[in-house]
């Protein structure tokens, strides 16, 4: 498993503890879903302004969000090991960690799990899909020992 990091923000320091937990989070998603772990993913840490621009430009939603997922499009037949890109808004990490009364590290782990599931084709548009995605998220977080 290869994870490439790009830190383009100054809200929080991205520590080795955080990247280690992110790697464990990706690994656990793949383990729980019984998928090949020989994958590549990029994770970018960005500001509130940058993620708002990305959300507007790629999803036509002109507001900030906590995380965006950009799966590799199969029609290009790029090496299937590449899952895609995850973009995490560090300001939202801080806000949501405070709101849910847990650490920034735990919030980063959750957003990573959530986003990797999106890269793997999960979504939460339909209620039944949302329930399945939440079930897998909870299972992964439990396996990581990071339950609410």
In CATH terms, is domain 2-144 a member of 3.40.390.30? Answer: yes
CB 65 within 8 A of CB 47: no
| DSSP category for residue 50 | H
- Radius of gyration of the chain measured on its C-alpha atoms: 15
**pLDDT tens, per residue, the chain with 148 residues:** 999 999 999 999 999 999 999 999 999 999 999 999 999 999 999 999 999 999 999 999 999 999 999 998 655 545 558 899 999 999 999 999 999 999 999 999 999 999 999 999 999 889 999 999 999 999 999 999 997 6
Residue 102 known to bind ligand: no
Question: Residue 5: beta bridge partners?
Answer: 43
Q: Indicate the domain borders of the chain.
A: 2-144
Give the list of residues 6+ apart from residue 94 with CB closer than 8 angstroms, or none.
11, 12, 104
């Amino acid at each position: 498993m290869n994870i490439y990091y790009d830190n383009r923000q100054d809200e929080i320091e991205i520590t080795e503890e955080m990247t280690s937990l992110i790697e464990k989070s990706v690994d656990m998603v793949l383990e729980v879903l019984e998928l090949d772990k020989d994958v590549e993913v990029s994770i970018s840490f960005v500001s509130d302004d940058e993620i708002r621009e990305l959300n507007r430009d790629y999803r036509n939603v002109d507001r900030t969000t906590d995380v965006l997922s950009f799966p590799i499009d199969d029609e290009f037949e790029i090496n299937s090991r590449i899952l895609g890109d995850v973009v995490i808004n560090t300001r939202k990490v801080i806000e949501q960690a405070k709101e849910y009364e847990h650490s920034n590290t735990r919030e980063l782990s959750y957003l990573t799990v959530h986003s990797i599931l999106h890269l793997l084709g999960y979504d939460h548009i339909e209620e039944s899909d949302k329930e399945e995605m939440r079930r897998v998220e909870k299972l992964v977080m439990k396996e990581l020992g990071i339950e609410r």
